[in-house]
Structure 1
Amino acid sequence: MLRSENKWQEALGIFLVLVGVTMRVLPHPDNFTPVTAIALFSGVVLAPQIALGLPLIVMIASDLILGPHALYPLTWGSFFLVSLLGVAIRKDARISRIFLGTLGGSLLFYLVTNLGVFLFQAMYEKSLSGLVQCYVMALPFFRNSLLGDLFFSGLFFGVFALVKNYSGKLVPRRTR
Structure 2
Amino acid sequence: METTGFNRFRNKKPFTSTDFTLAAPVKIHNSLAVMKRYLPLVLVVGLLVAFRVLGSAFPETLPNFQPLAAMFFCGTLLAPGWRGLAIPLGIWAVTFPFGMGHTANPLDFATTSLALLAIFFIGKTLTQRGLPALLLGSALSAVLFHLITCCGAWITDPLYTKNLEGLVQSVWSGPAGSPLPSWVFLRNMTAANVLFTGIFAIAQLRLPNPSFSLSRPLPAKF
Q: TM-score, normalised by structure 2?
A: 0.64
Give CA-to-partner distance per residue, 1:78-127, whole Å, 9 cap, x none.
2222111122222x231222022112211110110100110111121111
Gaps of 5+ in 2: 1-29, 174-181, 217-222
Alignment partners' CA distance in 2, 1:61 and 1:22? 17
Alignment partners' CA distance in 1, 2:103 and 2:82? 27
On the 8 A contact 1:89/1:97 being kept in 2, the answer is yes
Alignment partners' CA distance in 2, 1:125 and 1:40? 32
Q: Which residue number corresponds to residue 104 of structure 2? A: 69
The structure number with the bigger radius of gyration is 2
Corresponding letter in the other structure for 1:96 = P
3-state SS, counterpart of residue 144 of structure 2: helix
Alignment partners' CA distance in 2, 1:68 and 1:95? 33
- Indicate whether 1:96 and 2:132 are aligned: yes
How many residues are matched?
168
Corresponding letter in the other structure for 1:51 = G
Range moving further from structure 2, 80-89 or 121-130: 80-89
Higher-RCO chain (CA-CA 8 Å, sequence separation at least 6): 2
Following TM superposition, by how much is the alpha carbon of 1:143 offset from its aligned partner in structure 2, in angstroms?
Answer: 0.6
Following TM superposition, by how much is the alpha carbon of 1:19 offset from its aligned partner in structure 2, in angstroms?
Answer: 4.4
1:55 to 88, 95, 103: 88
Corresponding letter in the other structure for 1:161 = L
On the 8 A contact 2:131/2:198 being kept in 1, the answer is no
Q: How does 1:1-150 map to 2 (within 5 A)?
A: 8-9=36-37, 12-13=40-41, 15-17=43-45, 19-20=47-48, 23-24=51-52, 27=56, 29-66=62-99, 68-70=103-105, 71-90=108-127, 92-137=128-173, 138-150=182-194
Alignment partners' CA distance in 2, 1:40 and 1:74? 16
